Chains A and B, each alone.
Chain A
Amino acid sequence: MTLTIILFLTAEVAILMLALLIAVVRGLTAPIFTPLRLTSIAYVDIVRGIPTILLLFLFAFGIPALNLQGVTNSELIWGWAALVVSYSAYVSEVLRAGLESVHPSQRAAARALGLSQIQSLRFVVVPQAVRRVLPPLLNDFIALQKDTALLSLVGVVEVFRVAQVDAGFYFNFTPYVVVAVFFILLTVPLSRYADWLAERRRRVSQASAGGL
């Protein structure tokens, strides 16, 4: 159970960072960045096209089978990496929608103060973008919490795998029910948090409707 939560929390941080990088790179318009931009588009297209479970098998069994020197063969680490790669593609698209929804005049105002390109993103554009896409972002993270169960298929003994073993041992399905309840308990607070954020955002936008 702790392993499931640790897997989820660390994956979430890694996904956010990777996804933000992909989303920002995809938004670079200067011709010099074209190769980078095309790479990020290809990454999202390819990763989203592959079923998560297939990606998981490719990473957890495929990479160790290559017998690379100095590379870990841990199914846990490669399974975790597969989840990060898979979800970063989806999350990057959510973040990109957020970045594009911030009016260019905000960036102009930031640059006018003398902030660099990166500072403008960090202090002005990204905070606004993330606020706007929080509900869909949390939606993806709820899905991620449940998909940590997929790691059992490559031999990682997380909570679902423990239940399978117990169910097999005692010939009843109670352990599955317990695990189902566990996942619900894990995801419901996130769902309510997403609702609360959406509600707060609605109130704020109503309050400011007269202002602009």
Chain B
Amino acid sequence: MTTETPDAGPQPTLRLNDVHKSYGDNAVLRGVSLDIDEHEVVALIGASGCGKSTLLRCIDLLEPIDAGAIRLDGVDISWPGYDANAARRKIGIVFQAFNLFPHQSVLKNITLGPCKVLRMPKADAEAEGMTLLERFGLADKAKDYPDRLSGGQQQRVAIVRALAMKPELMLFDEITSALDPELVGEVLDVIRGLKDTGLTMMLATHEMGFAREIANRVAFLDVGEVAELGPPEQVLSEPKQARTQRFLRRVTEAGRL
């Protein structure tokens, strides 16, 4: 099943092919197909419950898919025989609720993956971790425990923790939704910085203005399928589909555009 050679011509970094996922009778993803090229940023928008989070969790193999295929660099990582841990090493994910490890200091949170998964010597992992923390203005928090940090700082640490694994692809699952409004900016700044480095990213977001600014393409997800896909100006300003228009009208009325 994994007969494709990774070097057979230019491949998208991530290729979703007719991905299906149900929880019991509830079909959350009903055939999602989407390609993400290297260095590309794709924003996933859509109402709550449309399948954005589930899709990101499926890509990171935190949830098994029922049908379809997820290819990373041409390799089918959703095949049951594929080593899920190997795929997760290449994919970073940041969650809405941060999910930092409360029993470990900030620096420990960041070095756990490199030390235990990449088998990096502790001193090297700590040095790289400190470099990353400095880059994001968090060096003075290295020894603190997560509960001492503000929500924005915790989420930035969570981003650093994912980056420490040097992923090829980063997934962001509504990472500003749990933050107070005044803390959203510092987290979005981090994402802007990451885009400048050319990192391939996929982000589920409710911040339409931010999606327009940062994304190369926007995918509107509705009842478990990609209803509309295109450049942000087109999808967000001149949506072709009636359901995209309806969704954006509701968002505008709520004052979020």
Contacts and interface: CB of A to CB of B under 8 A. Distances in A.
B97 interface: yes
A119 B100 CA distance: 16
A188 interface: no
A146 interface: no
Interface residues of B, number: 32
B214 to A, nearest CB: 22
Contacts of A113: 88, 112-113, 117, 161-162, 165
Given A112-B60, A114-B88, A123-B116, A211 B99 contact: no
Contacts of B100: 109
Contact of B95 (A108, A116, A123): A108
Given A108-B62, A211-B146, A211-B147, A114 B113 contact: yes
A116 B85 contact: yes
Among A110, A113, A128, A131, the one with the most B-chain Cβ atoms within 10 Å of its Cβ is: A113
Nearest to A112: B93
Given A114-B88, A116-B85, A211-B154, A109 B99 contact: yes
Given A106-B101, A109-B101, A119-B116, A114 B85 contact: yes
Contacts of A53: none
A207 B146 CA distance: 11
Interface residues of A, number: 22
Interface in B152-191: 154, 161-162, 165
A124 B102 CA distance: 9
A203 B195 CA distance: 40
Q: Main SS of chain A's interface residues?
A: helix
Interface in B132-163: 146-151, 154, 161-162
Nearest to A105: B99
Contacts of B88: 111-114
B99 A106 contact: yes
Contact of A111 (B62, B97, B103, B165): B62
A113 B101 CA distance: 12
A133 interface: no
Interface string B92-114: 11010101111100000000110
A115 B113 contact: yes
30 contacts: A105-B97, A106-B99, A106-B101, A108-B62, A108-B95, A109-B95, A109-B99, A109-B100, A111-B88, A113-B88, A113-B112, A113-B161, A113-B165, A114-B86, A114-B89, A114-B113, A114-B118, A114-B165, A115-B112, A115-B116, A116-B85, A119-B116, A123-B112, A124-B112, A127-B103, A207-B147, A208-B147, A211-B146, A211-B148, A211-B154
